[in-house]
Amino acid sequence: MSAMLLNKEKWPEFVEKLAGKNILAPQADGDAMRFAAVAEGDVPALDYNNTRVPPKGALFPQTETMLKFQAGGEQVEEPQLDRETVVLGLRPCDARAMTIVEKLFKWDIDDPYYVRRRDLSTLVGLVCNEPGMNCFCPSVGGGPASTEGLDLLMTDLGEKYLFEAVTDKGEALLSETRDLMEEADGNVAKEKEKLVSEAEQKIKRTVDTEGVAEGLPGLWDDPLWQKVSASCLGCGTCTYLCPTCHCFDIQDETEGFDARRLRTWDSCMFDEYSLHTSGHNPRPTRKERTRNRISHKYSYYVDKFDVIACVGCGRCTNLCPVNIDIIETIRQVKEAL
């Protein structure tokens, strides 16, 4: 796999070379950053910490048309998904989250929308030189320069970007833009190594997950769930902003006779999520819903897919309006074991 250097002066030309593809990159959205389509001629800047909303929408849009039809009809039409997409500058944790979610979307039966979007996408990651204050990716199997889930990894070396191909798809994108770049030599590898180890040292928060997956089911009636969920508002922010949260609702929407079946992100923190039509709810309060959210990520998912469904991005902790901290929650779980 190739390793190439791009002088930052040539960054606009690099982006220009990708014209025709759907380019998603972090862009300012009010006071936060968010992945959005790059308008023709625009040059996205990659000097950002992480986006508030993860880039999971690139493969799993917040709202996605599944089928189009006439209300009351019997013929359905599928959306055409054929535009190549390049996601520029996503963080390694968010790419790792995509590999985790993909396990579910490919479990026995392929989810055609997710799989198709992944096939059409090239994921270009960006090493975290400056991890955030609630980042804890190394504790859950990741790292600031993890290549898992990526096709191509970029490292910001100051004057230059280092591009390292991870997959054939990444290699193909490099070959399209190769004439703007120069080969990277051995010194560059050392430079990158130094940056990464500095970044790793900047990650101060950790979780100890040992025994958590096996132990969580036994804590079913533990008072910790009451404690952890006591301040929860049930707003769903933790799930919407979680790069591994993949739950969705399916609804039909009609406008006259034109109708579509769509899916939208849903949240296990909402009452309606598991509400039966009879009025019975197996998870009637935020206590049960919190227990399910944590158990799903740290135990059920491990049981099914052999990986913790948390990548340590820290978003749920950063943005919880009542300061519920997943690291603290897992610490309490450990304590109760």
Partner 1 sequence: MKTNENPYIPYPATVKETWYETGGERCIKTFKIVFDDEKVREEWSHLPGQCAMIGVLGVGESMISISCSPTEGDFLRFSVMRMGKVTQALHQLETGDKMMVRGPYGNNFPVDEWQGKKILTIGGGIGQAPLRPIVEYVRANQDKYDGLTMIYGARTSNDLCFKGEFEEMNKCDDLSCHLTIDVEEEDWSHNVGFVPQMLLDLNPSPENTIAITCGPPIMIRFVLENLKKLGFKDDQIYTTLENRMKCGIGKCGRCNAGNMYVCKDGPVFNYAVLKEIPEAFA
Q: Which residues bind partner 1 (CB under 8 A)?
A: 66-67, 69-74, 76, 78, 81, 104-105, 107-112, 116, 217, 220-221, 246-252, 254, 259, 261, 263, 266, 268, 273-278, 280, 282-283, 288, 292, 295-296, 299-300, 303-304
Closest separation between CB of residue 266 and partner 1, Å? 7
259 strand-pairing partners: 69, 254
- Whichever of 259 and 327 has its CB closer to partner 1, that residue is 259
CB 181, CB 163: distance < 8 Å = yes
Q: Which residue, 80 or 201, is less far from partner 1 as judged by CB?
A: 80
Q: CB-wise, 198 or 249, nearer to partner 1?
A: 249
What the block records as the tokens of 229 is 């969920």
Minimum distance of partner 1 from residue 213's CB (angstroms): 10
Q: How far is the CB of 64 from partner 1 (least distance, A)?
A: 11
- Judge whether 12 and 43 are in contact, CB under 8 Å: yes
CB atoms within 10 A of CB 55: 26
**Residue 40 or 221 with smaller CB distance to partner 1:** 221
**CA–centroid distance for 64 within its chain:** 17
Q: How far is the CB of 146 from partner 1 (least distance, A)?
A: 25
Collect all residues with Cβ–Cβ distance below 8 Å to 138 and sequence separation of at least 6: 200, 203, 206, 312
Tokens (6 digits) for 306? 């052999």
- Give min distance, CB of 251 to partner 1, in A: 7
In the complex, minimum distance from the CB of residue 284 to partner 1, in angstroms, rounded to a whole number: 8
- The torsion angle over the Cα atoms of residues 238, 239, 245 and 250, rounded to 10 degrees, is -170
Q: Is 24 left (phi over 0), alpha (psi -120 to 50) or beta?
A: beta
Task: Select 102 or 164, whichever has its Cβ closest to partner 1.
Answer: 102
Is 90 within 8 Å of 312 (Cβ atoms)? no
Nearer to partner 1, 160 or 246 (CB): 246
